[in-house]
Structure 1
């Protein structure tokens, strides 16, 4: 992370920019091959929702 960004990015919290992807399955609990086939429910980049799945 660039210097000085610690207060604005890098964690999931209100007011913080975030990049994340939410899958329709729990990738920790699912069988090994299931997450690669799971639909993407949400993608957030730079704190903005860029994709909402069904």
Structure 2
């Protein structure tokens, strides 16, 4: 997870605006229907995306959420 958040923001030169969930940081996040850290890698492609937020704005919301 660290590689896809803090490290990705650092690599993009955006460590001051992204890579953390904190006041003043841009909110880009995805909410999955299962815990990606506890789901076997072979099952990850089948985990539904429940919510996606880009730049603090909801860009995708699954039905019923």
Q: TM-score, normalised by structure 2?
A: 0.62
Instruction: Count residues with an aligned counterpart.
Output: 50
Q: Is the 8 A contact 1:23 1:35 kept in 2?
A: no
**CA–CA distance in structure 2, aligned partners of residues 23 and 43 of structure 1:** 9
Bigger share in helix: 2
**CA–CA distance in structure 2, aligned partners of residues 36 and 22 of structure 1:** 14
Structure 1: 4+ residue segments shifted above 2 A: 13-16
Bigger share in strand: 1
Unaligned runs of 5+ in 2: 1-12
1:1-46 Cα shifts (integer Å, max 9, x gaps): 34xx71xx21212443221111101111011122211110010101
Distance 1:15 1:49, change over 3 A: farther
Unaligned runs of 5+ in 1: none
> How big is the alpha-carbon RMSD for the aligned residues of Structure 1 and Structure 2?
1.8
